[in-house]
Amino acid sequence: MYTLPSKKSYHHGNLKAALIAAALKELAHEGIEGVSLRSVARRAGVSAPAVYRHFADKEALLVAVAAECADRLAAAMMAAVEDAPAHPLGRFRAIGVAVVRFAVANPEHFRALSLTGLAERAPTPQRERERLWAEAQQRSLADAQARGLIAKVPLDALMLTADSAVWGLARAIIDGRLGDVDDARATELAIAVTGVLGQGFLPRP
C-alpha cells in the first residue's frame, strides 16, 4: 500500500505513484463520478497543475489506477497458480484464496476493482492478457470435467458461483463484517469457503 509523503518529499520519481494512491482513496470515498483531478491533488497535498505533469485528464488517471489494480491482482493470482497443486480443482481453489488474501493486503485496490466501470479502463493489452488467462483457466476446468475430476456442471454457473463466493467473502472481510481479520485468518476463511465449493452441498456415499 502506498503512503503519501509530505509535499516537500515529492519528486518526479514518486509523484505519479502518490497521485494513484490518492486517487484510490478518493475512489473509496467518492466513487468514479466523484473523483476529480483537483480532489486528488488536494488529497496528495500538491497543486492541481502538478497532476497534469503525469495525467492529461481524469480519464488518464483512472486508466492508470485500473492498470495498477489489475496488475497487482493478476500477479497475486498467477503466483498462486504457480504454487498450487497439480490438480485443476486445487489450482482453482488457490486462485480464490489468492483473491481474498489480495483484498486483505490491498483493500483500496480491491474496492476500486469492485467499482462498476473501473476494471474496464485498464489498457487493452492488459485486458487481453487477462482474457487469455481466464480462458486458459476455463479450459483447464473443462478438461478436468472431461476426465471426471470435477462435476459436470455448466462452466458459466461454476465460475459465477465461485466468483460470487470469493468476492463476497473478500468484501465482507474488508468491510469489517467478520471482525478483525489478518492474512492468516483470511487464508483460513478462504480455504473453508473454497473447500465447501469443492465438495458441494450434497451428501456423499
Give residue-wise pLDDT tens across range 6-51: 444 455 458 999 999 999 999 999 999 999 999 999 999 999 899 9
Domains of the chain: 7-55 (1.10.10.60), 66-199 (1.10.357.10)
- pLDDT at res. 2: 41
The mean predicted confidence, pLDDT, of the chain is 90
Alpha-carbon span 131 to 86, nearest angstrom: 22
Q: Does position 114 have pLDDT exceeding 70, yes or no?
A: yes
Answer positive or negative: Cα dihedral of 74, 135, 152, 87.
Answer: negative
Range 50-76 average pLDDT:
95
Please give the residue that has the higher pLDDT: either 104 or 197.
104
Q: Does position 5 have pLDDT exceeding 90, yes or no?
A: no
Q: Could you count the other beta carbons within 10 Å of the beta carbon of residue 187?
A: 16
- pLDDT at res. 13: 56
State the residue for C-alpha cell 459465477: 160
CA dihedral of 44, 49, 54, 58, whole degrees rounded to 10: 80
- pLDDT at res. 4: 47
- The residues near 58 (Cβ < 8 Å, ≥ 6 apart) are 35, 36, 37
Kindly report the pTM of this predicted structure.
0.87
Range 99-116 average pLDDT:
96
